Amino acid sequence: MEKSFFKLPLIGCLIYFMLSILFNVFFLYLHADEFFLGNFTWYVFFDVPFSFLLRLFFEHYFTDTLLIFGLLTLFFHSAHVYIVNKVNITLLIIIMSVYSIVTYLIKINTTVYLKTVFSLLPIFPIALAIIHYLLNVLLLYYLIVFCKGYFIKSQNEFILTKKNSPKIHFILFSLFSCFILIKCFIFMKRAFSINVFSGSIYNHLTAIYNHLMVIYLVAILFGLVFSKQSFHVFFDKIQYVKLFKSVLISNVLILSIALIAFIVIYNNPSKYYFDSFISIFDNINKLLLVILLISLICLTLNKTTKYYFGKAAF
């Protein structure tokens, strides 16, 4: 029987990705009237820009899929489930179906009930997101634990080798880091846009933040590519503590850099406004901001991963 460390979690996150889209569309149609459905269907398939759909899928589905991939990998590893067969895939489909439905209901209820508690606090979106994702993590964990006895397991435990150990730790670090960095950037973008009432300033900020997000994603991609060489030490077990510390420290530092960039742009949006990436080279302030952002993100990821995974003991 086929045995793989990442294949079953990858199948699971793809199932979740498709089911979450289907369930969200289903619940939307279920709670909407006929007139709205007609207009909505026409809008989605004919009038909405492709860039909007792409951003919608990226912000609401793709980023959550990264978290699911990482969590399934760790949970299946702790349960010693590595075999890819019909029984395990069927159980996985059932688990992800239940998970997708319940998480949608959790999202609705936390939004409705917790909004009355945190409505007067500026940290409400952050508190709500933390509670929402903690509940999701616990739900997925207990679903795996509940079905643990029904999975077909390998008689031999998955062995980490000098070849696969660095790759596994790098992939896990990348998954959790990308999820946190992208989600928090989206929250900051919304927070710095919510109190802007001037149409021209709002348009300028929206354009800047959209371009900044592309630069931010490119910087994260470059940083991860450059930091991959830091994962060269062999570990015979998954280093949960090192993964947690490295993700936490690097992400806090990078998000602090992003927050400073948001504050600088927010205080003077016209100074940093650009309608295309080519126009960045026309202004030294914009160019320096982009270079500084990319350099600091790459340096932070490289140094943090080298400290935690570039040496066996410290």
Lowest mean pLDDT among 3-17, 139-153, 186-200: 186-200
> With bands split at pLDDT 50, 70 and 90, how would you rate the model's confidence at 292?
confident
Q: What does the pLDDT read at residue 314? A: 44
**Among 126, 158, 190, residue at a domain's last position:** 158
Residue 194 has pLDDT above 80, yes or no: no
What share of the chain has pLDDT > 70, as a percent?
Answer: 71
- Say if residue 87 is in the same domain as residue 148: yes
Q: Which residues contact 44 (CB under 8 A, 6 or more apart)?
A: 53
Q: Using one digit for the tens of pLDDT, what is the confidence trace for 225-244?
A: 999 988 988 888 899 999 99
- Which of these ranges, 15-19, 142-146, 148-152, 186-190, has the smallest mean pLDDT? 186-190
The whole-number pLDDT of residue 243 equals: 92
Residue 64: name the closest of 110, 99, 25 by CA. Answer: 99
| pLDDT above 50: residue 46 | no
Domain endpoint, select from 123, 158, 193? 158
Whether 138 and 249 map to the same domain: the answer is: no
Q: 133 and 174 share a domain?
A: no
Average confidence (pLDDT) over 269-280:
56
**Is residue 157 pLDDT above 70, yes or no?**
yes
Buried b (16+ CB within 10 A) or exposed e, 101-119: eebbebeeebeeeeeeeee
- What is the model's pTM? 0.84
156 vs 30, residue with greater confidence:
156
SS3 state of residue 3 = strand
Q: What distance in Å separates the CA atoms of residue 280 and residue 282, rounded to the nearest whole number?
A: 5
What pLDDT score does 159 carry?
84
Query: How many domains would you assign to the chain?
Result: 2
Examine the domain organization and report whether 227 and 86 are in the same domain.
no
Q: Are residues 206 and 313 in the same domain?
A: yes
User: If pLDDT is split at 50, 70 and 90, which confidence band does 162 have?
Assistant: confident
Closest C-alpha to 146, from 93, 73, 79, 53? 79
* Res 261: pLDDT: 81
Q: Which of 138, 158, 178 is the last residue of a domain?
A: 158
Higher pLDDT, 293 or 71: 71
Q: Which domain holds residue 9?
A: 1-158
Q: What was the pLDDT predicted at 289?
A: 74
Q: Are residues 290 and 168 in the same domain?
A: yes
- Mean pLDDT, the chain, rounded, equals 79
- 169 and 154 belong to one structural domain: no
Q: What is the mean pLDDT of residues 26-31?
A: 67
242 or 290, greater pLDDT: 242
Angstrom distance (rounded) from CA 218 to CA 7 = 26
Residues 141 and 259 in one domain: no
